[in-house]
Amino acid sequence: TISYCALECHDAQFDKSLCNTSVTVQGPGGPLIDHAPLNMAVAPSARDDGQLLVTAQGIDAYHQQLVDDNAERAERAASEEADKVAEEKLTALVKPGWLIGRWVGAKAGSDACSQTGYIDFVRGGIVRLGDGHDSQGRWTLVGRRINTISSNDTMAFDISDADNDTMSTLLINGETQDFRRCTPSEMRPAIQPEAAPDMMPSVDPPSSDTPMTSGV
């Protein structure tokens, strides 16, 4: 639809004009208002004597570009809205109570949950590291940034994505790392089977039958 038209030039010899107008293009994301050049033809009206009939024809390539731009803007707006929803959902999930638990690398086996390689976030801001040295320190969660301080190490990383039992993190040096939460059964150390007691060689008991001797 044409909102207004500003005449830029007119050639009376050829009855042609060029104007710049505000055109509303309807696309998948809603209307887009932009300026587009139109080719216009001016000719005497066959119906009304003394009147001029003006017809306008848009430049197809330009109009198609408007439609494409509108679709791109709509796609970008939808993506931004999806990112906003995901951001709000992540912010609502990542709370200190959610973080409580034992975490290991996303691809770590079950033994990592009870031996080495885990991070244990405990209530009260205590963190235990399964690093083979039984390190213990403090942790804080500010927004989506986790800070841990222990006698052996200091770490800080941001949670970039998460659900109930997994999280993706971004370290301050730009590296990424994925974690998963250990299940209660994984946190119990494996029970080693008891060794069978050594079997002593059996000794036959002495026979109750004793040989009788005859007196002489």
- Which carries the bigger pLDDT value, residue 162 or residue 62? 162
Architecture of domain 96-187: Beta Barrel (2.40)
The answer on pLDDT for 74 being more than 60 is: yes
Residue 52: both structure tokens together:
């001029």
69, 71, 72, 77 alpha-carbon torsion, rounded to 10°: 120
Q: What is the pLDDT at residue 160?
A: 93
As annotated, the residues of the chain forming the CATH 2.40.128.20 domain(s) are 96-187
Give residue-wise pLDDT tens across range 76-107: 888 999 999 999 999 999 999 999 999 999 99
Q: Going by C-beta distance under 8 Å and a sequence separation of 6 or more, which residues neighbour residue 83?
A: none
pLDDT for position 66: 66
The b/e string for 4-40 (b: 16+ C-beta within 10 A; e otherwise) is ebeeeeeeeeeeebebebebebebeeeebeeebebeb
Predicted TM-score of the model (pTM): 0.55
State the average pLDDT over residues 145-157.
86
pLDDT tens for 158-186 read 999 999 999 999 988 888 999 999 999 98
CA dihedral 197, 199, 200, 206 (to 10 degrees): 130
Residue 216 has pLDDT above 60, yes or no: no
